Structure 1
Amino acid sequence: MAPPTPLPTFGQHPVVAWQDTPNLIRAVNAAWPLLRTARHVTILVGEHQPNAVPDPALLAQLRASGVAVTLERFVLTEQSVGEQIRTRATQAGADLLVMGAYGRPHFIEWLFGGPTVDLLAHATWPILTHH
């Protein structure tokens, strides 16, 4: 998915919305050529408790490839997860968002909303996703 106007820095600062799921792993694998040539990658980890999620293996893989990478953890609040990801990705200077899609059944997410629907509807940068 891409916004109607191209970003001049596309792929220089991708943000990965981390959730250890097969969908995200497939998206990261598809994005790997961009991630390993990026100037800087930010990995966002939303957690219910501080430091509850182990560091993603992607962090070490990117560092081993010589990529500058930042791991940003945040505690999930009552605000929608999609909105929290959008805010943090924008603050990080994202020019691409890499994420898994539809971690919940598609019908449930369509009916009640969810991060995928929110991000696809409101993001202002390209999204590389996988279901």
Structure 2
Amino acid sequence: MNKNTSIKDVLAVVDGTPSSLAAVDQALAYADIHEATLTIVVVTENLALAAAIDPMAYAEAIAASDTLRKEHVAAVRERARGASVQVEVHALFEAPGLLPGLAKAEGQYADIALIPGAGSWQSDGLRRHVIEVLMFAGVPTMVVPATWRPARITHAALGWNASLEAFRAARTVLDLVESGAAIDVIVVDSLDGHRSDRPVPGAQVARHLARHGHNAVVHAIGSAEHGTSGALQIFASEQHADVLVIGGYGRSRALEFVLGGVTRELIAHQRLPIVFVH
């Protein structure tokens, strides 16, 4: 099996709290697998602005926030000490509302961004916002559960609905997997009303993936029992896929992101690593 050489610039975003340090280990292992450079961005919320009306409280809050920033960055740097790959650790210390935009600037030059899943951030709202911003920046964004053990991807699941985002997700799959990978193309509730004179949904993208040397198979599943997001994750897990890749649906309205319900649910809960592509 040939080694995948598409991933050379990996970004990981963490908040540097103790619960996030396992994600640093995961990012180091993933970068090592691909012999890639790893950039770790440590985001720390500056809570001083909330106390701006009281000069004394402001001074105390800025000092406390700065102490946290230094502790978080030091913890991440210590965790990355002696890594077998090149590692850069950057600190982002700003008002909560500005942090996601700053993280986006880092992500624009990465091949993939790794974000710890639910439970690995002090502020889950900040975690979700960072994921959304990176996704809209165009970088494939992998949200990983704490149990994930990085390895070469030889089996991927692709959520397919023939949307523009799904087409982009299919191209991302080609960058993520190893040669000759197994790829499950999953269509949910897409055979309802299907006409026999038309290709089965997913058949054409499976053919495209097969032409790249992969073993692509279409699976039609229903969502009635678990909903679309649950059905996708359950099926991918039962197939023992290494990763689920999905086109993240949403659109930007000024500074507010409006996500599709399936995307929002997948961001909230991960059974396996999920890559969002927009």
Aligned equivalents of 1:67 and 1:108: distance in 2?
31
Specify the alignment match of 1:83 in structure 2. Answer: 230
Aligned equivalents of 1:117 and 1:38: distance in 2?
32
Specify the alignment match of 2:157 in structure 1. Answer: 15
Specify the alignment match of 1:96 in structure 2. Answer: 243
**Secondary structure of 1:4's partner?**
coil
- Number of residue pairs matched? 127
Q: Could you state the TM-score of these two structures normalised by the residue count of structure 1?
A: 0.78
Aligned equivalent of 2:221, options 59, 63, 74: 74
Specify the alignment match of 2:211 in structure 1. Answer: 64
Aligned equivalents of 2:246 and 2:274: distance in 1?
7
Return the offset for 1:78.
Answer: 5.3
Specify the alignment match of 1:126 in structure 2. Answer: 273
Taking only aligned residues, the RMSD between alpha carbons, in angstroms, comes to: 2.6
Return the offset for 1:51.
Answer: 7.4
Aligned equivalents of 1:94 and 1:15: distance in 2?
6
Specify the alignment match of 2:186 in structure 1. Answer: 44
Specify the alignment match of 1:107 in structure 2. Answer: 258
Aligned equivalents of 1:51 and 1:72: distance in 2?
17
Which portions of structure 1, spanning 4 or more consecutive aligned residues, are displaced by more than 6 angstroms?
Answer: none
- The percent of aligned pairs where both chains have the same amino acid is 24
Q: Cα deviations across residues 34-83 of structure 1 (Å, max 9, x unaligned)?
A: 24625311110112545735334221112222211221111331532111
Maintained 8 Å contact 1:23/1:103: no
Any gaps of 5 or more consecutive residues in structure 2? 1-142, 195-199
**Structure with bigger RCO (C-alpha 8 Å, 6+ apart):** 1
Change over 3 Å in CA distance of 1:8–1:127 after alignment to 2: same
Any gaps of 5 or more consecutive residues in structure 1? none
